[in-house]
Structure 1
C-alpha cells in the first residue's frame, strides 16, 4: 500500500499521499483489499520497512552475516530494530556532473527522465519501468544524466571527457555506477582514467 515510511502514508505525510493499491471493484483482493484481515496497517509496514532496511545495511554495508537468514527468508522473525542515522553521501564528492559539460565518444549522454526519445536513456516502452530511472509525475527532470554505452564488439571503448580536468587529489577511491539490461549476465567492463598529460592508469575490471 506504499506505506513503508510516514511521508508516503495518508494522514501522516506533509505532502499529498495516497494508498497506491489498485482495487478492482468487481474482483476484490482477499489479501490486500481494505478491510481484509491480512492487510498490513501503516504502523506494521513502518516496522517491517525499518527492520529490513536496517538488516540490509548490516549485511551489505557492514558485512554482518548474522542477518543473512532474515534477508534470504530462512531465518525466524526479526527482533526489534534500533534506529541509526547517517548523512547522505558518506562524505563523498560528486566528481564531475554532466551538466557542467562533458564529451562522450562510443556512447551518448542521456537523460534519465525526458519525453524526447532522442534524449532519454531508455526506450519509450521501458520508461517508468526501470528501478534505475524511476519517476512519477515529472515529465522532464534536469540534472539526472547518465552515459549510455554502445558497442558491437568486445574491446570497444567509451570515453567520457569532462570539460575541465578533474582533480583527484586527496581521494581514497572512485565510485562508478554501472547499469546493465535486465536479465543480462557476464558483462565485463575495464575501467581506466587518463590525466591531463595523457598518462593512462587502468583501475580494474567490473562484472555486472
Structure 2
C-alpha cells in the first residue's frame, strides 16, 4: 500500500505523509536512534514498516515519514487507559521495566504533522522532505510510565484498587509477546526540531495534558 500511495503522490505532484515506527531499529544499546542509523527490525511488523519506508523513499514522491512510538491518547484502546482500568480492578500488576522509550500522545503527532506539512506546502523549494522521528522528549520505561499514570489518578482523587506498592517491575522475558519488542526505543528528535524550528514537549508534560483531556471527557 505505501508503494501505491507513493506512486499516486508522485504522479500528481502531491506530498505523502506516512507514519512509521521505532520497530525498524534493532533495539539494542542505550543511545537514542538517529534517522540515519542502520535499521534491523526484530519482527515481521517492523520489517513491513521498513519496507514501506524504503518504497516511499525510492518512489520519487515528496514525502514526510514520521517514525513514532508508544502512542496513547485520552480515547480508544491504549496503555494509559488500560493501566487506569486495571488499577481500578486489581490489587497486583506486573509491568515491563526493561523496555525504554518515549510515551507520545496521538494529539502531539497530529499537531506536529499538520505544522510540518504546512511548512512544506508554503516552502515548496525547501528540502524538508525525508524521515523524521516524532515523539515526546525524554525517555522512560513502561513501568515508570505506569507509575506516573497511577500518581495522576491518585492525585485526581480517583479511587484505585491497586495499592501504592501493588505494581511490580518485570523483565520482558517474563511477559512474552507474539512479536519481539525492542528494549531500546529511544528516538532522537533533534532533526525534526531543527528542520521545523520546533520545541517538542517532554513526555511528562504531554502525559499531564492528555490526562486533563481524559478527565474532561469523563
Given the two structures, how large is their TM-score scaled by the length of structure 1? 0.22
Q: Which has the higher contact order (CA 8 A, sep 6+)?
A: 2
Tell which structure's C-alpha radius of gyration is larger.
Answer: 1
Structure that is richer in helix per residue: 2
Given the two structures, how large is their TM-score scaled by the length of structure 2? 0.21
